Structure 1
Amino acid sequence: MNVQPDLIAGIYNYCDTWCERCLFTARCRSFQIQSETGLAKTMDAGGNLVQQLTDALTLTKQYIDNLTRAQGNDVLNAPTEEQTQTLEQKAVQREDTAARPIRQHSATMLANDYLRQTGIWMKEEKDFLEQAGQQQLHEVELGLRTQEEAMPTLHALKDAWEMIRWYRTLIPVKTQSALRALAEPTENMRLVNYHLGKAKLVLVSIDRSLLAWQTVMQHYPEKTDALLDLLSLLSRLRRELETVFPDARAFQRPGLD
């Protein structure tokens, strides 16, 4: 008899909403309610690796084309409502006096600046993955590297691109959500922990984004100078949040930490 795993209470309050990469969808009430399916498939380790690399290039181009159409050819768009909780949307959109200091907070401005600058970079580098794949394939054909060396490189770059794209929109929204703790101070520990968890989520998102940028620079060191400002923005935002929420790093998100 199949027994449904116990749900992890509140896990969806502190996650990055990237359900396709989550290991806990079967234990998430939000995921079950939304009836989301189709977890990402990993590439088959067998078969001809050069053919897999060629297929990966095709999939990458389709991936970028679909992304462009979905965003109306505007990579600077903010997250959709499906990607955020009602509370975060309220924090971003409210025009009342309580919300204004949040929008004007230095952390918010850093996060929004990062969103803007990464949007510009991704627009300029819209063919980055396809070019990287073609380069790997060309080097394999020339015998400059083996098939076994080329595939992990392509996977690492594709993963880095997807992480940068995903977290660039999440970071500003969750930053403002966490900062509501300043606009609406409370002694209610559930709310205190809620905002700490949001701050922890932003810090984790920044950490992962920095690792993704390091992957890009590792394989394309010539791009380092152009990326230094982006890395500086993330580092400054991380320091700011760690100052405002000194207990955020220690917060244990249910099921995630």
Structure 2
Amino acid sequence: MLNNYDEERFIPGIYNYCDRWCERCSMTQRCLLYYQDSRREAEHLAKGEDPHAWNIVLQDLHESFQETLEMLRKHAEEEGIDLDAIDIESEFTSLQGKPVSKSPDPSDHPLHIKAHKYAMDTHKFLGKLHNVINEEIDNINAGNVLAENIEEIKECFEVIAWYHIQIAVKIQRALCGKMEAELEEEYEGSADFSLHDANGSAKVAYHGLIRTMDALTKVYEWKKSLHDDIMPLLTDVYGLINGVDREFPGHKDFKRPGFDE
């Protein structure tokens, strides 16, 4: 539990619409989630514990839940709400008989299909690119070729690898949010939240697509032998960018906390 820290140090919700690449992020000192994760990892290491061991992860999840519950109770008290007085059983009973909608499934949506295909195709390409980069490094070490752009290409590999799955995941989340908003329009406020989240997720996907487009282009210009592998991926990325723009026009105006403000 955080005690006596300056709340202005952390940007509320900054971690909700980021790309989770903490090692490359300039905003980690403003991120509560990064602070909590780093603190927990340091505490476990100091005790000689593996912070990634399953029993430790479960312990951290339990403690995080308790912290969230305590924070919820604190805010409820400030608003004059007695959580213990809420009759959960009565609330549940009042909902009985009402139709329960299934979670939206965007798996048949063309944008979801295209994003999933891109992720699978890129995953295969990354294996080939990894081998080509290693061969180039071996040739450099042997003095057979000059060390031109190899560090930049290694960086491009990391960018392509980091985003190729995340793009599909964020597009799926965005599609789910949009579909939920369409189902929730009869309930005041809930549809607005779902659409807000959809636009935020779409913007994260768009950010990854733009960075990926740049990285793939640099690799294309670097190695002629990879042209036939890269061109279909560039075409897919271009199509996904247009698809996100078309399906989620609101992403352009979405302000990610800390990044677009």
Q: TM-score range by the shorter chain?
A: 0.5 to 0.7
Q: Which amino acid aligns with 2:173?
A: S
Counterpart in 2 of 1:99? 104
- Give the distance between the partners of 1:104 and 1:248, measured in 2 at CA: 22
- Give the distance between the partners of 2:35 and 2:6, measured in 1 at CA: 15
**Structure 1 unmatched runs, 5+:** 39-95
- Give the distance between the partners of 2:220 and 2:178, measured in 1 at CA: 36
Counterpart in 2 of 1:222? 225
Instruction: Identify the range of structure 1 (223-232 vs 185-194) with the bigger mean alpha-carbon deviation.
Output: 185-194
Instruction: Identify the range of structure 1 (128-137 vs 224-233) with the bigger mean alpha-carbon deviation.
Output: 128-137
Counterpart in 1 of 2:165? 169
Q: Is the 8 A contact 1:5 1:26 kept in 2?
A: no
Secondary structure, in 3 states, of the residue corresponding to 2:252?
coil
Counterpart in 2 of 1:160? 156
Counterpart in 2 of 1:19? 22
- Give the distance between the partners of 2:253 and 2:7, measured in 1 at CA: 31
Q: CA deviation at 1:180?
A: 1.5
Answer with 1 or 2: which has the greater Rg: 2
* Deviation per residue, 1:75-111 (Å, 9 max, x gap): xxxxxxxxxxxxxxxxxxxxx84332x1111111011
What's the TM-score once normalised by structure 2's chain length?
Answer: 0.66
Q: Which amino acid aligns with 1:99?
A: P
Query: In the alignment, which of 136, 139, 147 is matched to residue 135 of structure 1?
Result: 139
- Give the distance between the partners of 1:125 and 1:7, measured in 2 at CA: 39
| Amino-acid identity (%) | 27
Q: Which amino acid aligns with 2:247?
A: V
Q: Is the 8 A contact 1:136 1:154 kept in 2?
A: no
Q: Which amino acid aligns with 2:152?
A: A
1:207 and 2:210 correspond: yes
Question: Whose RCO is larger (CA < 8 A, sep 6+)?
Answer: 1
Q: Which amino acid aligns with 2:211?
A: R
Q: CA deviation at 1:216?
A: 0.6
Aligned length: 190
**Structure 2 unmatched runs, 5+:** 43-100
Q: Is the 8 A contact 1:200 1:249 kept in 2?
A: yes
What do you get for the CA RMSD once the two structures are aligned? 2.5
1:53-64 correspondence runs (5 A) = none
